[in-house]
Structure 1
């Protein structure tokens, strides 16, 4: 291993100086533009607060009925629907309803935001190998970077609160929808695209009427994974002020409240299972519909 001693290394003093310089520039940037960036995200914060208030202040039985109806529409499975109703009733009985609604609001908003941002990026990647080669390393970093590292620059820039937590969740959860949108569109049968070209379809018509409908089951799998990764960030996001089931879990860790941590952890698991089963069932329904249409 003598070659290691000959490997050029940056002197420790120079490395510390470089690190301090970068930190100073970032602090200057956050002081100069932090308020403007916060104002840019203000409408998103207002929407998130409105949605959270709507879920919390609406009578529980109406919210329960709405969620059960959505699950039934997505899955058309009596077992999944009854399981969802039982899970939500137990969450209410154990006094975790408000925290669950807070968690549900940030998961729904972060998933919608991930879809709005990730879907166009996935479409763009599917149209160009160069764009795919450029974006794939970024997605690799987003998926492998420890989640706590995301907190540092965002908290320095925006402080503690809902929006920094939402951004952390979106950054961590967005890669699956981008990757699977790209994959789904690339897997569309070339013969189908040739038939669309023969009918004189424009690029927009091919995308909206052929590629996206045929790749929808794969895109739904991406949405499913995005939801699961967003739920995995609930406890981490609670470190920077995100309300919900993550905060009682964090309190249980610091104060050794085993029962509190277990119950809130099980509530997170229950929500994850509901989202997972409903979205997977909906994806299978789309797949069967696609096969029937082309059978």
Structure 2
């Protein structure tokens, strides 16, 4: 039996060459815009002193998760500093934040459009399936061909790989909003935009935040792979350990990735509900209630005098 070849690979090559021949100026504009975001985040994070960033993360952890997780966050970040990987972790964090921000900027409106239109969902679903199931390494090839090497192609490949969860869960969350809530909003005269912003999105927020959380996790896994095309960060440490068969270097890089993943995962998950940690409002409320109770309580040993 002769080999049967549809020539799909040749077709993909032809598409890439066509884009390179006709859309290079547009690609340069996209690269400049994404480079501005990634470079700005990188310069901001690397420029800030490490104690300030550790303190800020500890305060957020204390507010959202409680003092135990705040202590864990501080200890974990000090561990990364002790391994000499602080700057590389900031590079990875800047790529993750840039990729997640772009994925949310595109993915949440797309998820809303899918929830509002079955036709949009029918078109977008197979594309999302392709984006989510394609091996991550495949995205590196066109990203490097279109945008060269560095943080920009790594960010673009990460956005493509990590965007499907926020799109799918935004669509799912809005579709699962109870019909009674929508009917109540319509009864009060809400416009479609008011209905979306004041009824559907607030009720779908846990699902949307779950999608954001998954997008962050996938972004973190992809930026490590993107080090193969010069994205930098902790992925370089892991890649160096693989190339040199250096178990210690690879373990340190992997441990730093795990620490960053745990911190991002727990903090972003906490934003889908009420804060469980330290709250000045609750503290002052409890203190005010205690003072009021003491004022209203009768003095010990005193006798109540009935009114005439």
Note whether the superposition's TM-score is higher than 0.5.
yes
Answering whether residue 29 of structure 2 is matched by residue 54 of structure 1, we say no
Give the match's secondary structure for 1:284.
coil
Answering whether residue 53 of structure 2 is matched by residue 63 of structure 1, we say yes
Q: What are the within-5 Å matches in structure 2 for residues 243-282 of structure 1?
A: 243-282=232-271
Q: Is the 8 A contact 1:217 1:286 kept in 2?
A: no
Answering whether residue 98 of structure 2 is matched by residue 109 of structure 1, we say yes
Deviation larger for 40-49 or 190-199: 40-49
Query: Alignment length, in residue pairs?
Result: 276
Deviation at 1:163, TM superposition (A): 1.0
Deviation larger for 125-134 or 186-195: 125-134
Q: Counterpart in 2 of 1:149? A: 138
Give the match's secondary structure for 2:189.
coil
Distance in 2 separating the partners of 1:233 and 1:88: 21
Q: What are the within-5 Å matches in structure 2 for residues 224-235 of structure 1?
A: 224-235=213-224
Deviation at 1:32, TM superposition (A): 3.8
Q: Counterpart in 1 of 2:150? A: 161
Answering whether residue 202 of structure 2 is matched by residue 213 of structure 1, we say yes
Q: Is the 8 A contact 1:103 1:245 kept in 2?
A: yes
TM-score, normalised with respect to structure 2: 0.84
Structure 1 unmatched runs, 5+: 288-295
Q: Counterpart in 2 of 1:193? A: 182
Q: Counterpart in 2 of 1:40? A: 30
Structure 2 unmatched runs, 5+: 277-308
- 1 or 2, which has the higher helix percentage? 1
Distance in 1 separating the partners of 2:3 and 2:121: 33
Q: Counterpart in 2 of 1:290? A: none
Deviation larger for 274-283 or 168-177: 274-283
Distance in 2 separating the partners of 1:43 and 1:31: 21
> CA separation of 1:72/1:286 partners in 2, compared to 1, >3 Å: closer, same or farther?
closer
Q: Is the 8 A contact 2:140 2:157 kept in 1?
A: yes
Q: Is the 8 A contact 2:31 2:147 kept in 1?
A: no
Give the match's secondary structure for 1:283.
coil
